[in-house]
């Protein structure tokens, strides 16, 4: 289970890109503990578009 949904990530990134608020204020506005997450999401969105914010679930193999 992930802490932040793709929908929320897109909302946060779009808010950052369209408002004068910085990373810290955007993180605070949405209750995100670390502004570095917002930085990461914005960078991934700019590089890969909305697909860059997909929730990744690693395949775990236990043997």
pTM metric for this prediction: 0.83
Number of domains in the chain: 1
What's residue 18's pLDDT? 97
In whole angstroms, give the CA distance from residue 37 to residue 23.
9
Q: Kindly state whether residue 59 falls inside one of the protein's structural domains.
A: no
Q: Kindly state whether residue 57 falls inside one of the protein's structural domains.
A: no
- Binning pLDDT at 50, 70 and 90, where does residue 3 land? confident
Contact 38, 32 (CB under 8 A): yes
Q: Any idea which residue has 């929730």 for tokens?
A: 55
Q: C-alpha angle with apex 10: 4 to 13, nearest 5 degrees?
A: 105
What's residue 58's pLDDT? 64
Q: Kindly state whether residue 58 falls inside one of the protein's structural domains.
A: no
Half-sphere exposure of 8 (CA within 13 A, CB side): 13
Contact 13, 45 (CB under 8 A): yes
Q: Containing domain of residue 41, as a range? A: 6-49
């Amino acid at each position: 289970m992930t802490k932040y949904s793709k929908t929320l990530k897109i909302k946060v990134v779009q808010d950052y890109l369209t408002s004068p608020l910085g990373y810290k204020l955007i993180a605070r506005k949405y209750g995100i503990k670390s502004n570095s997450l917002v930085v990461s999401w914005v960078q991934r969105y700019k590089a890969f578009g909305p697909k860059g914010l997909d929730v990744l679930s690693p395949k775990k193999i236990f043997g």
